[in-house]
Structure 1
Amino acid sequence: MNVFTHWVEWISDFLWGFPIIILLIGGGLFLTIRLGFFQFRYMPHIFRQTFGKIMSKGSGDGTLTPFQATTSALASTMGAANIVGVPVAIALGGPGAIFWMWIVALIGIGTKYSEVVLGIKYREKNAAGDYVGGPMYYIKKGLGWKKVAYIFAFALMMEVMASAMVQSNSIATTIEGSFGLPPIVTGLLIALLVALISFGGIKAIGRVTERLIPSMVVIYIISALIIIAFHFTAVPAAFGLIFTHAFQPISAAGGFAGAGVAAAIRWGLARGLYSNEAGIGTAPIAHAAAVNSHPAKQGFWGVFEVVVDTLIVCTMTAMVVLTTGVWEVIDADNAANMVTEAYGTVFGSALGGIIISIVLFLFVITTIVVIIYYGEKQAEFLFGAGFSKAVRVVYIAAILVGALGGLQFVWKFLDLLLAMVVIPNVIAVLFLSGKVREITLDYFTNVYPNERKKKA
């Protein structure tokens, strides 16, 4: 088993090095160019169609409102990566990693938009009358690659189990450290809450995420702004560090070991890609259920996701870490504690720990609920609706096992399974980019002029 897991880890590390980074960055650049740099040319219009229409119920066919579908998709991206992943990137790549995180977000917009557009284009109704879609559908229907679609669906179905266990364990460990609550209690609580929401179906998930996600984001941003306000004199220097050390090495200081430009690029790209999930293919599964009148309109909500997740929330985390100076004191092995320590400089260590624990707990609950939905849809695609309900029970059991730290050998497959999800999805999106371009041109030729007239 040790030899086997060693090879799994080696293959995973290799794939998540340059191969997948090149695929995601190169693919994002290709899509951005083929779509005419739409995210830069039409960003004001995209913001009006998303931030400006958060309360709109949309028009057309679908199961969820556009915003409910978006918050459901955001629930799987908003989590530990935003609070814990950013300090790790700074600890290993220096402040310059944040610049490259922004770059990959701007490039990733093209990928996320394309995924969502294709998710709407090739969606269909299931036996319950709900709209379903995602990479497995556009790979099968758009390209005719049935076997590849089945590989994607099976890999994602298995990846969800490992991911749910890791998420459950991370929050159980955090809460045990902050409140002394045994992991078994936290695991039972998470499993119960997830079960109550999950058994309500996609409509219940949409209603919960529509309320929780905006509240969590607002609470986190406001509390982060309070921290930054107390250290406002350090803000210009923090931005200076980000821009300077994106292109220049930075030397060691205190607990910080120093970092070269290559490390800044590598960790900035990796964290950015992992945080906004552009290219992973999960977002179109949630967006496929949205009420909308044109695929491009829902694609704009994919742009909204990347902006909120990476350009706003991750930036808030970075500024909290940099302005308080904790990144220079805490070493890379304990980087996950940086945000809690930063909050402690203003709120005190006890209250700071409570705030972060609560935010993480809510993020993890919504993340697990949504990824279980993603897993169920893969089971439904592969084996039918009946099997998807059985898989839901397995996932909920995995939450409890994960909280206790059990079956850790399963976790070692997480990155490998995720690679098996990313690679076929990005390749499929690139092959279908002509269809995305056609849909985008149709929108900006026939719909956009009418939207401008309404604004006038």
Structure 2
Amino acid sequence: MEGFLEGFQKVVDAINGVVWGPVTLFLIVGTGVFLTIRLGFLQIRDLPYALKLTFSRSKKKDDKAKGDISHFQSLMTAMAATLGIGNMTGVASAILLGGVGALFWMWLAAFFGMATKYGEAILAVKYRTVNHKGEISGGPMYYIEKGLGWKWLAILFALFGFLASFGIGNMTQSNTVAGSLQATFNINPWITGFVLMVLTALVLLGGIKGIGRVSAIFVPFMALFYMAGGLVIILLNITQVPEAFLTIFHAAINPEAVGGGAIGLAIRYGIARGVFSNEAGLGSAPIAAAAAKTDYPGRQALVSMTGTFLDTMIVCTITGLVIVMSGLHLGLGPESQAVLTGAAFESFLPGIGNYVVVFGIIFFAYSTIIGWSYYGEKCFGYIFGDQNTIYYKVIFCIMVMVGAGTSVGLVWDIADIFNGLMAIPNLIALCLLSGVIVAETNKFREVRAKEKLEEKRSKMAS
């Protein structure tokens, strides 16, 4: 049996290497570059307005628009799934495998990924539908079917998404939480798993509205908690920050000069870990975007775009700066990725830093479970019918506990494959439907121009 598992692991590793190889990563970044050019570098010119939309109170016209949850709740549901252990161990992994220059390529991938995330959301809202429960359903499976007319490809995406939810969005997350609590507080993993299962079930029973309400409270809290710890370190050592950025930029161009590997490794692992972190191009986040109350697809798309900015440009950057300033990454191998971030925080905040990371892992992993439960439910419902999603919810909750109490190394690798396979149908749809994305964008820009004119007249009248 042991020999079979070793052989199967080798097969899985080989498939993983192909799925997440240079071709796929090139397609993901290439799609972002393509959409960035077609949309006129929208992520630069419209980011201030997008952030304003995200954090301002919902407008009355959006409250009356079709949808289940607000702009902010939709973004927080997507952020619940994307903000995860990838923001900590993923960044550490990128640095250990590709050198500190990998951070630069992570930022670059995120910049173009913002256009990708925008395109995903605009299509998700445009082609969304209402199921028999009166709930909104949307995402790549719907815009592939309705936009391209390729039902078979839509089913493939939904199948990959449904299967990936049990690994990357479930068992691996609960296992990470259980491992952290056992190592830090000696809590039995099965106890952790049971508590996580109950907490997950309570949220899932509320459907997308319950997930949206919980995410709107939970996600900002957990993000601010982790960011606060990192920002305290950065501010207390502010004089080291310019040097850290110079090291990152220098390493991106010449990684061997600062103790890194070849530049190809920096590019590969920077892009790969960046995609794992913000999920731009994978097709997961638009499933949540489709549920938002919005009058125009372009409005929600701008809100969704900010998710990539907040995830990678802010949270991952904080993690990366703390690691680079600590210097602990020098001389370490990839086997240290699980402990590097905690050690870096602890080196600056003795007795506190490691706890910041441990509790960050708990919050981030649990939020990922909540967010991915919705993604998996919608993918399952697309294939087997929305009336049968109760079976998915029950199995999903049980697997949370199973993941916490068992070894899931192979599960993680298999989930990586399905996660990567999700991207292929989604990227095909984004490229072929790019004309729709541009048309909807131009339509919304005309609306924005009228809104600005009305705002100007209103100010002059007052």
1:442 aligns with 2:443: yes
The share of aligned pairs that are identical, in percent, is: 37
Whole-Å separation in 1 of the counterparts to 2:143 and 2:306: 22
Determine the structure 2 residue equivalent to 1:345.
347
Q: Deviations over 1:61-88 (max 9, x none)?
A: 2110100000000000001000111111
Q: Deviations over 1:414-451 (max 9, x none)?
A: 12212221101111111111101100011112333423
Whole-Å separation in 1 of the counterparts to 2:118 and 2:215: 21
Q: 2:175, 2:408 within 8 Å by CA — same for their partners in 1?
A: no
Q: 2:122, 2:297 within 8 Å by CA — same for their partners in 1?
A: yes
Whole-Å separation in 1 of the counterparts to 2:298 and 2:333: 44
Could you tell me how far 1:183 is from its partner in structure 2?
0.8
Matches within 5 A, 1:114-129: 114-129=119-134
Determine the structure 2 residue equivalent to 1:269.
271
1:420 aligns with 2:421: yes
The equivalent position to 1:28 in structure 2, one of 19, 28, 32, is 32
The equivalent position to 1:202 in structure 2, one of 208, 218, 224, is 208
Q: Deviations over 1:198-238 (max 9, x none)?
A: 11111110010000111111111111111112322211110
Q: Does 226-235 or 369-378 show the bigger shift?
A: 226-235
Amino acid in the other structure paired with 1:303: M
What RMSD, in angstroms, separates the aligned Cα atoms of the two structures?
1.8
Amino acid in the other structure paired with 1:399: V
- Unmatched 5+ residue regions in structure 2? none
Q: Does 40-49 or 439-448 show the bigger shift?
A: 40-49
Determine the structure 2 residue equivalent to 1:131.
136
Whole-Å separation in 1 of the counterparts to 2:226 and 2:39: 34
Amino acid in the other structure paired with 1:40: I
Matches within 5 A, 1:37-436: 37-51=41-55, 53=56, 58-59=62-63, 60-163=65-168, 164-251=170-257, 258-328=260-330, 330-349=332-351, 351-406=352-407, 409-436=410-437
Q: 1:231, 1:324 within 8 Å by CA — same for their partners in 2?
A: no
Could you tell me how far 1:54 is from its partner in structure 2?
5.2
Could you tell me how far 1:363 is from its partner in structure 2?
1.2
Q: 2:229, 2:353 within 8 Å by CA — same for their partners in 1?
A: no
Q: What is the TM-score when the length of structure 2 is the normalising length?
A: 0.93
Q: 1:451 to 1:360 in 2, by over 3 A?
A: farther
Whole-Å separation in 1 of the counterparts to 2:216 and 2:388: 28
Q: 1:165 to 1:92 in 2, by over 3 A?
A: same
SS of 1:292 mapped into structure 2: coil
Whole-Å separation in 1 of the counterparts to 2:18 and 2:453: 48
Whole-Å separation in 2 of the counterparts to 1:451 and 1:112: 25
Q: Does 33-42 or 433-442 show the bigger shift?
A: 33-42
Q: Does 300-309 or 330-339 show the bigger shift?
A: 330-339
SS of 1:246 mapped into structure 2: helix
Q: 2:200, 2:369 within 8 Å by CA — same for their partners in 1?
A: yes
Q: 1:201 to 1:11 in 2, by over 3 A?
A: same
Q: Deviations over 1:16-71 (max 9, x none)?
A: 111210110111111111112222233333333334x2565734221101000000
Whole-Å separation in 1 of the counterparts to 2:83 and 2:103: 17
Could you tell me how far 1:283 is from its partner in structure 2?
0.8
Whole-Å separation in 2 of the counterparts to 1:453 and 1:43: 21
Could you tell me how far 1:325 is from its partner in structure 2?
1.9
Whole-Å separation in 2 of the counterparts to 1:249 and 1:260: 6
SS of 2:256 mapped into structure 1: coil
Amino acid in the other structure paired with 2:199: L
The equivalent position to 2:12 in structure 1, one of 2, 8, 31, is 8
1:19 aligns with 2:26: no
Whole-Å separation in 2 of the counterparts to 1:344 and 1:4: 38
Q: 2:101, 2:266 within 8 Å by CA — same for their partners in 1?
A: yes
Amino acid in the other structure paired with 2:424: I
SS of 1:305 mapped into structure 2: helix
Q: 1:401, 1:407 within 8 Å by CA — same for their partners in 2?
A: no
Q: 1:117, 1:296 within 8 Å by CA — same for their partners in 2?
A: yes
Whole-Å separation in 2 of the counterparts to 1:214 and 1:434: 35
Q: 1:56, 1:65 within 8 Å by CA — same for their partners in 2?
A: no
Q: What is the TM-score when the length of structure 1 is the normalising length?
A: 0.94
Q: 2:222, 2:363 within 8 Å by CA — same for their partners in 1?
A: yes
Could you tell me how far 1:252 is from its partner in structure 2?
6.8
SS of 2:16 mapped into structure 1: helix
Amino acid in the other structure paired with 1:166: T
Q: 1:178, 1:353 within 8 Å by CA — same for their partners in 2?
A: no
Q: Does 263-272 or 226-235 show the bigger shift?
A: 226-235
SS of 1:50 mapped into structure 2: helix
Count of paired positions: 450
Amino acid in the other structure paired with 2:230: A
